[in-house]
Structure 1
Amino acid sequence: MSKRTNRREPSSSEESSIDSEEERRRKDVQDRDEFAERLKKRDEDRTRKVVEAASSSKRTYEEAAKRLKLDAEDKEKLLPELRKQSRRQYLEKRKEDKVAELEADIRDDEYLFADSVITERERKDREYKKSLLQIAKDHEKARELERVQRYHMPKDIKKGETQEYVEVDENERMPNSEQKKWEAEQLASASYQFGSKDAKDRAKQQEEYELLLEDQIDFIQALGLEGTKEKERKPEITETEKKKMTIEDTKKSLPIFPFKEDLIAAIREHQILIIEGETGSGKTTQIPQYLYEAGFTNDGKKIGCTQPRRVAAMSVAARVAEELGIKLGNEVGYSIRFEDCTSERTVIKYMTDGTLHREFLSEPDLGSYSVMIIDEAHERTLHTDILFGLVKDIVRFRKDLKLLISSATLDADKFSDFFDEAPIFRIPGRRYPVDIFYTKAPEADYIDACVVSVLQIHATQPLGDILVFLTGQEEIEACQEMLQDRVKRLGSKLKELLILPIYANLPSDMQAKIFEPTPPNARKVILATNIAETSLTIDNIIYVIDPGFAKQNNFNSRTGMETLMVVPISKASANQRAGRAGRVAPGKCFRLYTARAYQNELEENTVPEIKRTNLGNAMLMLKALGINDLLHFDFLDPPPKETLVLALEQLYALGALNHHGELTKLGRRMAEFPVDPMMAKMLLASEKYKCSEEVVTIAAMLSVNGAIFYRPKDKIIHADTARKNFNHPHGDHLSLMQVYNQWAESDYSTQWCYENYIQFRSMKRARDVREQLVGLMQRVEIDMVSSLSETTNIRKAITAGYFYHVARLSKGGNYKTVKHNQSVIIHPNSALFEELPRWILYHELVFTTKEFMRSVIEIDSKWLLEVAPHYYKPKELEDSTNKRMPKVVGKAP
């Protein structure tokens, strides 16, 4: 006998509510689609095709004529500058000739008339010539001194070695210098042959020299990395030979060059190809050029190449443009977040993998590309893993699109399996043996250990450049300052040491300095993030210093919180780092950890980013592309399901998804911003609170927040005082806004930045980011309005995006997050560090020694119910009060 279940029928009011909600959903979906259509139409109107269809010969002819006109215009603009450069070079050479001529004239005059009586006029004439010569020499000396502090643009590689850093010996320009050189050589030879006589003196000098280094690290040598077999390895290219090589010779010397024809044939034969080759084999720079020469862009389509990092995309594009002899931004360009250096002529385009994600929004089939290269695939960034699933789907219906997956490690078989058993093309690497050294004991301060190791290598090892791996910009700048300070104290006792940083926020002209040839009798030390593991290849690296750490974003699915942490690297990363030392010659890798730590504490491989980060941004992008079944999306390594569900919940809480899991109009607008979903929501909320100008400024400043203020060691008190002058009583977001506004009032002055201990290059980047964001705000149909006096509205707009990141002061005087009761601390650099407001909102959590909240503002708990009533319940916010806790707790009477 079956049981009868009683189901309550919905009341008329409930039915009405459901109908009303469904009506709102349909209206929102309709608005979303109309908005997307308007965006598409605007993009089509702005896009001008470089080459029209071949059927229209007239249009093709007109297009060619326009391009010729553009070339002629470029030449017209370029010729005056070339004339100026040529004139400067002529005058420089003429000056040298004239000085030499004057010097010879004076010497001849003194020699010929040494015993003769000269007239007063002849004597004055001689004195005048001498004073003129002295002025010329003094001027040249001043220029030499000035060169140390000034950056000169690198010259054309074909003109030979850059002269800006060549040290000049005054004696070389004097008479009999050849005689003196010969004598010096004979003395050196004698010292070499009969060195035992003064061995004790040399040992004493060496001992005194060693004492200059305050600390030294004891290293133990272990088994190193083997080089390739002798018969496979090409002879080592000496520095002298390298200087004589043209760009064409350099390209031919790369390991990939002998395989050029075979590679092109394989690409023509297979739609998908996995390419495996050592870092430095030439994959990134040469393959797009080979495809360009083979005619893969003849139909007006482009060759795309993705990079996991901005620095790599920029520097590689610049190198390829140089190799092709064209201006960057014409046929070869790059596109990264907040910066687009391409034109209508661009046919080889380097971009970050995140940029390609955004291109899918306007061009889901990648119709403008004939070849897409996913480079550095082994790095397994979040965006790269998402791209694998997207491009795999596209090549199934776009048979004319060639897909190349480029990897530097043995992950190639895994990629082949994922891409339907795609063939693997292996390029043999050229690697020299690398000796690996470990410390005897763990190092307490690895940054200080890096500085000591650099100086130790510089003082005791043969010439060759040093590569130091650090975790980020702050560590690089700290290490750079410490090195400069110690090198200054040692003075002329050490040979010249050029200290060059490389990280994402560094301006491109500063980044380019790491690729310049090392001056004679000097050494470069390059301070880099893990970008130098595989993405960048730097010549002449012989020594690598590896502290064994990197920065990682880790997402805790239990608490729903994301933290930027410094963590130990994997064994695979450690070996990649060591391999950087063996690219051009036998090298040495100094690991600032013990052999035991390497064996027992390091993981075999780095955990793919998709398994350890917040997926909100990626899920929003996939939803915007119309991919709704995210649980069954074709991932190379599926993310944890709880992380995926949490990301969807967060998007729903932000209003990007409706209760059916569909993208809302708000979500579609959020997808247009290349920022975190919370920041995108903050930007869009500024429309409601009439403060878009201020919120855009805050968003731009947050993008460079870690690199705005600097503290010179000798002026720490002044720098801290200058920083406090910008502090706003309501928190750091408003302090950052004040910094930008005051800089703008100074007409974006460099001097103002210097006086206030603010990094000009970071401010310049913030201005560029702001301009991009303003353009995107207009793109999503938001007017720019100001509400500078209404700081409450600005803070409400920030809260609308970051309501997840809220903490309150507990009875013990500590802060705890509202939802997960996790203990957190205000960062000491915050304007609110000593204020202790009851309720605060933070931009990000950074874990170093403790869980620090960085960029904090004071909020009112009532705002949480206003901006996120679906997320917070009144009961959770019951103990809300605007009273501040006392700074000092008094004793009980």
Structure 2
Amino acid sequence: MSRDEHRLRRRLDGARKARNAESLAAQIEADIEAAELRVTRRRDAVPKISFPEELPVSQRKDEIAAAIRDHQVVIVAGETGSGKTTQLPKICLELGRGIRGQIGHTQPRRLAARTVADRIASELNTELGEAVGYKVRFTDHSGQDTLVKLMTDGILLAEIQTDRMLRQYDTLIIDEAHERSLNIDFILGYVKQLLPRRPDLKVIITSATIDPERFSKHFDDAPIVEVSGRTYRVEVRYRPIIDPDDPDADQDRDQTQAICDAVDELQHEGPGDILVFLSGEREIRDAADALSKQDLRNTEILPLYARLSSSDQHRVFQRHTGRRVVLATNVAETSLTVPGIKYVVDPGTARISRYSHRTKVQRLPIEPVSQASANQRKGRCGRTSDGICIRLYSEDDFDARPEFTDPEILRTNLASVILQMTSLGLGDIAAFPFVEPPDRRQVTDGVQLLQELGAFEMSDGKKLTETGRKLAQLPVDPRMARMVLEASRNGCVREVMIIAAALSIQDPRERPAEKQQAADEQHARFTDKTSDFLAYLNLWEYVTEQQKALSTNQFRRMCRNEYLNYLRIREWQDIFSQLRQLAKPLGITLNTDGPADPQRVHTSLIAGLLSHVGLKDPAKGDYLGARGARFSVFPGSALFKKQPRFVMSAELVETSRLWGRVNARIEPEWVEPLAGHVVKRNYSEPHWERKQGAVMALEKVTLYGVPLVADRRVNYGRIDPEVSRELFIRHALVEGDWETRHHFFRENRALLEEVEDLENRARRRDILVDDETLFEFYDQRVPADVVSARHFDSWWKKARHTEPDLLSFEKTMLINETAGGVREADYPDFWTQGSQTFKLTYQFEPGADADGVTVHVPLPVLNQVTPDGFDWQVPGLREELVTQLIKSLPKAIRRNFVPAPDHAKLVLSRVGPADGPLLHVVADELEALRGVVIPDDAWQLSAVPDHLKMTFRVVDVRGKKVSEGKDIDALKRDLSGQVRATISKAADSIEREGLTTPAFGELPKVFASKQRGHDVKAYPALVDEGGSVAVRLLDTPGQQEQSMWAGTRRMLRLNIPSPMKFITRNLGNSSKLVLNRNPHGSVAALLEDCVDCAVDKLVADNGGPRWDEAGFAVLLEKVRAGLNAGVLDVLTNVEKILRAANDVETRLADTRGPKDSLADIRAQLDGLVHKGFVTETGQDRLKHVVRYLRGIERRLEKLPTEPTRDIQRTGDIAWLRNEYQAALDALPPGTSSPALREIRWMIEELRVSFFAQTLGTAHPVSLKRVIKALDDAATSRN
């Protein structure tokens, strides 16, 4: 035999070189004799051969035999029924083939291999398995003496791995080559390469009459022998669904209606079954429903498709009476021959599996079939008699269609082929002699899938990995094989093999169209809510248990009753057994320690399904899959109703849309470890993290565009060491954003802070060298592999011992050479006011609230701080401040002081803070320099930059900010309560409340204590609280003075009997009537005001308030003795005031005059007589108020005749009142000014001088005198 010949030649060649050549030669000679005996035995075993005369191929036997004898490759083309499949092996036997090797005869399907083998054996009168045998997956009915071996093309492919030269065969018959499956095209390509090395090998390729020339051309113009089939005439009728040439055609007619019309037409053509081709199960159901509603007598409607249950498929082939309408997919085109068909209805479409380059998934779109497929369909009705084929499309449509269907190699993923070719060392697929080379994109996609599975190196897509070598040894889909390999690592081989085997076959769960609900109820037991894969395991365990408990017939019956396909279950079990056997040599064994964890199972499955992972898109309701594909969970999945965030699908198939079939919920963290070689990792926002002491970044991990991880913080040092080192130096070393105890670092930061502080004080950014200078310093010294704090610490731990000053700054290197003229003394750290010293800080941040100099004022001493001196700023900013003040002047004044900086410098060379308030001093100096008077209101302080105005920051005892602002007086007002509360904590023994008798001991006029180095002062006083008196600490002497008078008055009133009865007895009726017309609201309130006024007069006459109990007792007796008389004296003046005020009111109501004048009179009257005016005015001034009121009367008398003069005087008064109010507003909080109080009454005297000169004044007065008094008051205040 050919195999023996090759083996023996090699042994002979080796024996010639061996030392024991003679003994080896003897052994070889014996083996040669044994081989010759085998050849003789095989020749003798050839049975008697005959050829049925009725077969067309028998009539061309001699021509075919001659072609085979004379050529290495022969193409035999003939329709089904010509006999080529059964007679060609017999012709080869008759030619002497099959003796020195077997006649290998391939079939596309297992069923065909078995039935053809059986038929040939029957014709040769030999037992199946002897001269004629067959081999299909899981079954081998052939032996060493078998002459003709039928097998599937997949079996021949598998044998190539162990018999590269195919020496067990001397002849190969590749049957049904026109189907152009992937296996057939690969075999044809392999054989073409093999033929030059096996000149003894004969190859016969059989095909339907579909493009046999292509095969001939592929094999160097091999001869073609055409054999006609036994066919009858077929009439073709074209019935387009919508006929464009028929104006009366129904435009709403659809395919289902067209099928019904065609069936109705064929019913009138005589008996015979009708075969209707449809593209899918749904279309079959729609057509069946429509046909069942028609009046089709004695007609049975049967579906036929691959997923149909076995029993329903068998019904199509059973004998029957009446007419049948078979609704079939293209499975009936070539794979199955339906008997009794006389009529065919061809809509011209089919679902054709196509691989999408874009989505990398296998699609099943509905497409128009090729002309060759249409003719195959037509041929189904011309087998036994003349037939009719109705095509539901036009003849022009038919003529425009492609002649042939694309071979499978042009429309499928080539991963399995590429893997096997690489494993066999067949070279680049692009150079492989396929009948039709695949698209380069398909090859690329196949390589990419193998890279995804880890079979190929990522860097070299043609180099097998160890995983790839193992995958090539498992004859299943590479995805399934990868799952099994991963399962061996995860200890779940059994579970994954069960699932992989299930995915390799049609679903064993049947779902008949008329019993869907019953089937669903039976199958629901196996459902797992989170995983369709686990449902296979549940089903497996159930089936295994039942199979053990039941007999074979009982088990078959159970399968039928529970809608399980018995044959598919057996196939499932056979595949599992084969997988187990094939995996053993690879060291893969089943786990026996109980069921595996579901997570491990799914993790193993993910290894083969990386590109079938999807992320839920809540907005669109579907899943984002690999490379932008969008798919939905198939409605039959257990996950359809409650869809998880991440899902894995066993397959993605496109029909009406892209569906994920057989799904499971997964977690992204299961995927990432398996997908490390194909995921894309994008890093964003690399940044230094102080706490981590490293450069971190946000990592986004995507698997073919599907986000697995978003914004995960990762150490960037291992990803980009160069960038990480730079960021470490810039942030940790240069910017100091680092928690470390290194001595050099601490000293360097201290030096930097010194220079930075000088910059803030001088408000310059050119003193400290820039960050690049500091970066270069470190960059030149720190090694390239230091990318984090940990790396630095490791390096510096050794380096510091040899070069301790390597990384230490010197102050001179930190200061720019151009930064001259800056003196630290001009920017002091502290400000002194009186006995208090306040910390100063500097901030150079334009726009910030505290930009410039900040004075830190402890809360307890806030009441002691005055604005004095702060207006002069620190020396370093003083010149800029005066310059800006000059620039703020109105243009008419400002132009006299140009250039402003020069004038500022000159002014400051002559004056300083000791000369008085800044504005007054500068105004005086500028006037002295240029003779230009600058009014106080000329300064536009709002135009002065904020950084030149000191910020006052009030801090608590811990140094924490309480409040801050530019106005110290406003802060004192706002925080007065907090100041008092703070001081009170330190003076609990002094403050008291609820006093009604003068038991307050002796009050100090000043309370002083030390708090955190500051002299805290407060001012005790009696405080009027209505029904009692309290002792409180107040902020200022002014507050103390006011409060002490009021508190003394209240204590005296509480301890002296009320004089009200005495007053009532001594008032006449006319007096009572006058007093009743008062602004207080009641006579009682007026009288209380009068008593308070009398008490104040008596206190003043007796030396003022007393600070001890003894002194207060003396004062109490003095006031008690003189109170009644004092009150009567007050009432006398008050009665006169109220009479005069009433007269003014009456005249004012009747007077017409300038509005400003009348408004001024009303304001004066309200200022003199109002609620509380008696005590406020004081007893000594009450008699003058009567004169002021009489002055108003005189003014009203003159107003009608002298309005112009009145208006002029009114203007003067208004100006004085505004100046007076401004002076009051300028007083610090809690202070009072006797001088200002006197000016208030000077203005009243001036009114008398202006409008009622004849009444006389209490003292000389004029406008000039009042102005001078205002100036004097301002000067004394400053």
Match of 1:657 among 433, 445, 456: 456
* Cα deviation, residue 712, structure 1: 4.9
Say if 2:309 and 2:565, in contact at 8 Å, map to a contact too: no
Distance (Å, rounded) in 1 between the aligned partners of 2:633 and 2:265: 39
Q: Give matches, 1:220-299, under 5 Å.
A: 251-299=52-100
Distance change in 2, residues 1:334/1:66 (3 Å): closer
Match of 2:524 among 710, 724, 742: 724
- Cα deviations across residues 655-702 of structure 1 (Å, max 9, x unaligned)? 212344222332222123332211111122111111111111111222
* Cα deviation, residue 339, structure 1: 4.7
Distance (Å, rounded) in 2 between the aligned partners of 1:829 and 1:256: 49
Distance change in 2, residues 1:381/1:652 (3 Å): same
Match of 2:270 among 437, 447, 462: 462
* Cα deviation, residue 808, structure 1: 0.5
- Cα deviations across residues 178-207 of structure 1 (Å, max 9, x unaligned)? xxxxxxxxxxxxxxxxxxxxxxxxxxxxxx
Partner of 1:587: 387
Match of 1:618 among 417, 420, 424: 417
1:359 equivalenced with 2:159 (yes/no):
yes
* Cα deviation, residue 812, structure 1: 0.7
Amino acid corresponding to residue 462 of structure 1 in structure 2? G
- Cα deviations across residues 406-430 of structure 1 (Å, max 9, x unaligned)? 2222522222222122222222344
- Cα deviations across residues 746-798 of structure 1 (Å, max 9, x unaligned)? 12633443453333333232222222222222243311115524001000000
Unpaired runs of 5+ residues, structure 1, are 1-51, 72-246, 883-893
Number of residues of Structure 1 aligned to a counterpart in Structure 2: 642
Match of 1:855 among 648, 654, 662: 662
Distance (Å, rounded) in 1 between the aligned partners of 2:306 and 2:374: 19
Give the alignment's TM-score, normalised by structure 1.
0.65
Distance (Å, rounded) in 2 between the aligned partners of 1:739 and 1:541: 39
* Cα deviation, residue 836, structure 1: 1.1
Say if 1:382 and 1:610, in contact at 8 Å, map to a contact too: yes
Distance (Å, rounded) in 2 between the aligned partners of 1:413 and 1:66: 35
Q: Give matches, 1:287-686, under 5 Å.
A: 287-299=88-100, 301-441=101-241, 457=266, 459-471=267-279, 474=281, 494=298, 501=304, 503=306, 518=319, 529-534=329-334, 540-595=340-395, 597-599=397-399, 602-658=401-457, 659-660=459-460, 661-686=462-487
Distance change in 2, residues 1:867/1:581 (3 Å): same
Say if 1:315 and 1:512, in contact at 8 Å, map to a contact too: no
Distance (Å, rounded) in 2 between the aligned partners of 1:365 and 1:63: 19
Say if 1:572 and 1:604, in contact at 8 Å, map to a contact too: yes
Amino acid corresponding to residue 489 of structure 2 in structure 1? K
* Cα deviation, residue 322, structure 1: 3.4
Question: Which range moved further: 252-261 or 349-358?
Answer: 349-358
* Cα deviation, residue 632, structure 1: 1.7
Partner of 1:125: none
Partner of 1:85: none
Amino acid corresponding to residue 610 of structure 2 in structure 1? F
Distance change in 2, residues 1:335/1:550 (3 Å): farther
Say if 1:533 and 1:580, in contact at 8 Å, map to a contact too: yes
Distance change in 2, residues 1:736/1:454 (3 Å): farther
Distance (Å, rounded) in 1 between the aligned partners of 2:301 and 2:129: 30
| Residue identity (%) | 35
1:757 equivalenced with 2:558 (yes/no):
no
* Cα deviation, residue 553, structure 1: 2.1
Say if 1:451 and 1:479, in contact at 8 Å, map to a contact too: no
Distance change in 2, residues 1:668/1:514 (3 Å): farther
SS in 2 for 1:816: strand
- Cα deviations across residues 25-59 of structure 1 (Å, max 9, x unaligned)? xxxxxxxxxxxxxxxxxxxxxxxxxxx99976668
* Cα deviation, residue 279, structure 1: 2.7
Distance change in 2, residues 1:515/1:710 (3 Å): closer
CA RMSD of aligned residues (A): 3.9
1:701 equivalenced with 2:502 (yes/no):
yes
Distance change in 2, residues 1:832/1:372 (3 Å): same
* Cα deviation, residue 484, structure 1: 12
Say if 1:502 and 1:514, in contact at 8 Å, map to a contact too: no
Say if 2:455 and 2:466, in contact at 8 Å, map to a contact too: yes
Amino acid corresponding to residue 674 of structure 2 in structure 1? V
Distance (Å, rounded) in 2 between the aligned partners of 1:505 and 1:313: 22
Give the number of the structure with larger relative contact order, counting CA–CA contacts within 8 Å between residues 6 or more apart.
Answer: 1
* Cα deviation, residue 870, structure 1: 1.0
Match of 1:803 among 610, 616, 622: 610
Distance change in 2, residues 1:754/1:274 (3 Å): closer
Distance (Å, rounded) in 1 between the aligned partners of 2:343 and 2:609: 45
Amino acid corresponding to residue 368 of structure 1 in structure 2? Q
Distance (Å, rounded) in 2 between the aligned partners of 1:506 and 1:712: 10
Distance (Å, rounded) in 1 between the aligned partners of 2:707 and 2:214: 54
Q: Give matches, 1:145-184, under 5 Å.
A: none
SS in 1 for 2:463: coil
Partner of 1:873: 680
Amino acid corresponding to residue 606 of structure 1 in structure 2? T
Say if 1:545 and 1:589, in contact at 8 Å, map to a contact too: yes
1:710 equivalenced with 2:511 (yes/no):
yes
* Cα deviation, residue 295, structure 1: 2.7
Amino acid corresponding to residue 118 of structure 2 in structure 1? A
Distance change in 2, residues 1:592/1:280 (3 Å): same
Distance (Å, rounded) in 2 between the aligned partners of 1:423 and 1:501: 38
Q: Which has the larger radius of gyration?
A: 2
Say if 1:408 and 1:534, in contact at 8 Å, map to a contact too: no
Distance change in 2, residues 1:768/1:811 (3 Å): same
Question: Which range moved further: 550-559 or 396-405?
Answer: 550-559
SS in 2 for 1:420: coil
Amino acid corresponding to residue 476 of structure 2 in structure 1? V
Distance change in 2, residues 1:446/1:435 (3 Å): same
SS in 1 for 2:222: coil
Distance (Å, rounded) in 2 between the aligned partners of 1:751 and 1:370: 46
Distance (Å, rounded) in 2 between the aligned partners of 1:461 and 1:54: 73
Partner of 1:228: none
Distance (Å, rounded) in 1 between the aligned partners of 2:125 and 2:307: 26
Say if 2:230 and 2:383, in contact at 8 Å, map to a contact too: yes
Say if 1:809 and 1:837, in contact at 8 Å, map to a contact too: yes
* Cα deviation, residue 820, structure 1: 1.6
Unpaired runs of 5+ residues, structure 2, are 1-27, 243-251, 549-554, 682-699, 711-1278
Distance (Å, rounded) in 1 between the aligned partners of 2:520 and 2:306: 25
* Cα deviation, residue 593, structure 1: 4.0
Say if 1:382 and 1:609, in contact at 8 Å, map to a contact too: yes
Partner of 2:1112: none
SS in 1 for 2:60: helix
Say if 1:685 and 1:800, in contact at 8 Å, map to a contact too: yes
* Cα deviation, residue 333, structure 1: 3.4
Give the alignment's TM-score, normalised by structure 2.
0.46
Partner of 1:834: 641
Distance (Å, rounded) in 1 between the aligned partners of 2:431 and 2:303: 46
